Amino acid sequence: MELTEDGLLAAVRKVLSGAGPDVVIPIGDDAAVVRPGSGDLVLTTDALVEGTHFERAWSTAGEIGAKAIAVNLSDVAAMGASPRFALCALTLSDDVDAAWAIEAFGGMRQVCDEFACTLVGGNLARGREVTLAVMITAEVAPGRAVRRSGARTGDALVVTGALGGAGAGLRCVRRGAPWTDPERDAMRRLVRPVPRVGEGQALAAAGATAMLDVSDGLAIDLHRLCEAGGVGARIVEAAIPVHPAATLADALGGGEDYELLAAVPPEAADVAEEELRATFGTTLTRIGEVTDGPVVVVDDAGRERPIGDAGWDHFR
């Protein structure tokens, strides 16, 4: 790469949203300065590491940048919050040129724009592998963020969209063409997940007592929600919305779906389902209920069996 860090930053700045009424000092100074609203601040960070979370042979730079923002917006969505500002610390390896970095920032910008978030800062460093560490600042009305821990016995367990698509997509990418239409959709979900930001706010408004995003597979994430709340769950195998290209195992353990799993008061589940369909075109599926027992799944023959917490864990 012929560019200097300052030169690359100047080029990157051109693709960024830069100033807005709430941006006092945009990218280009030692730090960005922004004007917050009156709510609580929601802060999150998540990194995509080459080889672990993406391969440059599978995704364009724009897609990788977009995914780095999307997975962070998914955490914001799981709190029921509104995204405001994003930062990205980008590490580039020697075989990545300036055009790649600029395209990656372009992908970030695109998703930020889509969710009314402003990319206000960045950092560039050299390393042996490409890493995109994104941080998002979001806002939520004071005291209204939805935790993982509030589920109550009797709440309905609901999940947005379909599960297992990203896991199936990974298999399809590795296998190669030909692909069916559902398989192409599954690969798209892997490469370019859509954060459920509006859906998370709607679920929060509907009274969700606990929520998280399904990033590591339904099994492990359901265990997390139950553990945080000191509750159990009974879900119905046949009710799990499995992506048409995926298997039940993908849905339970595939990871990277970035759908929302929430506990909602039973009387609110139908209303929330209707609202998500009408407003976002997103299905909301009731998969079971919160109990005071263990975490179990009921199969088609009516038998209960425990769900293992085997999901995607980067440290296994």
Q: Map the footprint of a second copy across residues 21-40, applying CB under 8 A.
A: 24-25, 28-36, 40
What is the C-alpha separation between 81 and 71, in angstroms, rounded?
14
With binding defined as CB under 8 A, does residue 124 bind a second copy? yes
With binding defined as CB under 8 A, does residue 51 bind a second copy? yes
CB of 53 to a second copy, least distance (A): 7
CB of 131 to a second copy, least distance (A): 6
Options 1-9, 181-189, 249-257, 286-294: segment touching a second copy (CB under 8 A): 1-9
What is the C-alpha separation between 162 and 222, in angstroms, rounded?
15
Do 153 and 233 contact (CB within 8 A), yes or no? no
Among the listed residues 12, 64, 81, 290, the single contact to a second copy using CB under 8 A: 81
> What one-letter code names the amino acid at 76?
V
Using CB under 8 A as the binding rule, the residues of this chain from 247 to 306 that contact a second copy are none
Q: Of the two residues 95 and 300, which places its CB atom closer to a second copy in the complex?
A: 95
CB of 156 to a second copy, least distance (A): 20
Do 163 and 149 contact (CB within 8 A), yes or no? no
With binding defined as CB under 8 A, does residue 11 bind a second copy? no
Q: Mind giving me the DSSP string for 46-112?
A: EEEEBTTTB-TTTS-HHHHHHHHHHHHHHHHHTTT-EEEEEEEEEEE-TT--HHHHHHHHHHHHHHH
Residue with tokens 């994003």: 86
Q: Of the two residues 143 and 302, which places its CB atom closer to a second copy in the complex?
A: 143
Using CB under 8 A as the binding rule, the residues of this chain from 166 to 205 that contact a second copy are none
CB of 36 to a second copy, least distance (A): 5
Angle at alpha carbon of residue 118, lines to 97 and 162, rounded to 5° = 85
